[in-house]
Structure 1
Amino acid sequence: MRNPRNERVSSDIDSASPERTCILSGETAARDELLRLAISPDGLVLPDVHARAPGRGAWIGVSREALEKALAKGKLKGALARAFKGAPLSIPDDLADRIEQALIRALTERLGLELKSGKLLMGSDRIAQNAREGRVEWLGHSADASEDGSRKLDQAWRVGSEAEGSGLKGTRLPLDRETLSVALGRDNVVHLALTDRGAANRVASLLQRLLHFQGQATSERHAAGMVDDNGQADAAPVTTN
């Protein structure tokens, strides 16, 4: 039997994510909302999206624009020198590009894992049916998806979620159909849906960081489609360029 979307289930209760401080802004946030930088064996500063690299790390939570300004003014170099206790390091000129590509890769790899586990749906008809039956926890549209097709699936999701009139809508991804198709090994991937709440939040967490770094989201949690403790998917739209 489907669990009502406004009832909390035990799997929603997660331990709090440890907090870290951004070396550029000085602001503190959960580590899942920040990006870790690490040093390679040859001293190159690189993104460590999953925070698994050994040794000391430095955390940033700023947009690409802010990072590039900090790099140009030497602020990033000074902040990294302090974070890594004066260890020899080299900051690549294309660090911002490397970070964005690493975030995109992490997101598409996660989508691929959810596909393999059977929690990711593709195809308008299949998504619409599951959405109307209340089985969809997260809905996404490629950057170049048609407004009409997206609107129809959004409406099906609202109906199945008993959220008509709420403004609930799918997330406009910062990835086009070609990128999604290549990443997932399928043809013409335009719309995506997740049927598991945990999977929805795993994807939304990665998407949140990508959108924030790109400077596209006015409210990252809402834009990414995070599912709250009551099983409600946040519905604010994404601002895309």
Structure 2
Amino acid sequence: MTERRCILSGDRAAPEHLVRLALAPDGALMPDVRAKAPGRGAWIGVSRAALEKALANGKLKGALARAFKSGEFVLSPDLPTLIADALERQAMERLGLEAKSSNLITGSEKIDVAARRGQVHMVLHAADAAPDGCRKLDQAWRVGQEAEGQDLAGMILPVGRDALSQALGRENVVHVAVTDRSAAARIIALLSRWQSYVGCANGVADKVSPEARSTAQAAAMSIGHED
């Protein structure tokens, strides 16, 4: 698997766990969350809090200067926010696309039935979802996956029901179930990176079905390009 090195921590990880920074034509440093912008890039794998600290004490500027080696760049004080917004937008857009492809279901009753039948590969909860409702659906999912007594549970998103509803084009979306294995694999990669950055990661291995996890791992083998 191709790995990249975080310019701040020095740790190496697969590209889907990091955020790439690239230079815009005007020299502005911008997040390239899809890792497709041309030219040399720099990778970061720290949380927003750590990035903000590195920005304030000058460590980020020095690391970027070493990474890009030549040429000037414009480091915006809003970079941490730009990254957070880009990660959120990418994840929400993916959820919207999967909804249009009929790979998601919403509504507690529908999710409960599908989960108990073993038809669900991933469960998502809005940040403002009631804990009791989350527990009930998580339990239904464990029953369907024959994983009772294990840690399998839905992923709590960094956004509430309003943002989730807007992304899916539906009303009052509090819980989401992913019924397609490949869709779950596509979603988990984006959500885990976003959660890690904003500092609310709640696990990855126990947030998707074993089938979706295998699919995600296989897809990760082909992600990334050399800088």
TM-score with structure 2 setting the length: 0.89
For residue 183 of structure 1, the aligned residue among 141, 163, 167 is: 167
For residue 204 of structure 2, the aligned residue among 190, 213, 221 is: 221
Q: 1:4-47: CA deviations, max 9, x gaps?
A: xxxxxxxxxxxx4x210001111110011111001111011110
For residue 80 of structure 1, the aligned residue among 64, 67, 70 is: 64
Give me the whole-angstrom Cα distance separating, in 1, the residues matched to 2:213 and 2:187: 15
1:147, distance to aligned residue in structure 2 (A) = 1.6
Tell me the amino acid that sits aligned with residue 216 of structure 1.
C
Runs of 4+ in 1 over 3 A off after TM superposition: 226-232
Q: 1:122-166: CA deviations, max 9, x gaps?
A: 111111111011000000110111122212211211111111122
Task: Identify the residue that residue 109 of structure 1 maps to in structure 2.
Answer: 93
Cα separation, partners in 2 of 1:78 and 1:68, compared to 1, 3 Å: same
Task: Identify the residue that residue 155 of structure 1 maps to in structure 2.
Answer: 139
Give me the whole-angstrom Cα distance separating, in 2, the residues matched to 1:46 and 1:221: 27
Task: Identify the residue that residue 12 of structure 1 maps to in structure 2.
Answer: none
Cα separation, partners in 2 of 1:50 and 1:231, compared to 1, 3 Å: closer
Tell me the amino acid that sits aligned with residue 18 of structure 2.
L
Give me the whole-angstrom Cα distance separating, in 2, the residues matched to 1:66 and 1:184: 31
Higher relative contact order (CA 8 A, sep 6+): 2
Q: After superposition, where does 1:121-200 map in structure 2 within 5 Å? A: 121-200=105-184
Count residues in correspondence: 214
CA contact (8 A) 1:140 1:191 kept: yes
Pair 1:98-2:112 in alignment: no
Q: 1:80-130: CA deviations, max 9, x gaps?
A: 111112211001111001100100001101111111111111111111111
Give me the whole-angstrom Cα distance separating, in 2, the residues matched to 1:226 and 1:72: 37
Tell me the amino acid that sits aligned with residue 94 of structure 2.
R
Pair 1:209-2:185 in alignment: no
Q: Percent identity?
A: 56
Task: Identify the residue that residue 21 of structure 1 maps to in structure 2.
Answer: 5
Task: Identify the residue that residue 8 of structure 1 maps to in structure 2.
Answer: none
Tell me the amino acid that sits aligned with residue 138 of structure 2.
D
Tell me the amino acid that sits aligned with residue 4 of structure 2.
R
Instruction: Please provide the CA RMSD for this pair.
Output: 1.7
Tell me the amino acid that sits aligned with residue 157 of structure 1.
W
Give me the whole-angstrom Cα distance separating, in 2, the residues matched to 1:85 and 1:226: 41
Q: 1:163-203: CA deviations, max 9, x gaps?
A: 11223221111110011111221110100011122211211
Tell me the amino acid that sits aligned with residue 135 of structure 1.
Q
CA contact (8 A) 1:212 1:220 kept: no
TM-score with structure 1 setting the length: 0.84
Give me the whole-angstrom Cα distance separating, in 2, the residues matched to 1:227 and 1:130: 14
Give me the whole-angstrom Cα distance separating, in 2, the residues matched to 1:63 and 1:231: 24
Pair 1:58-2:26 in alignment: no
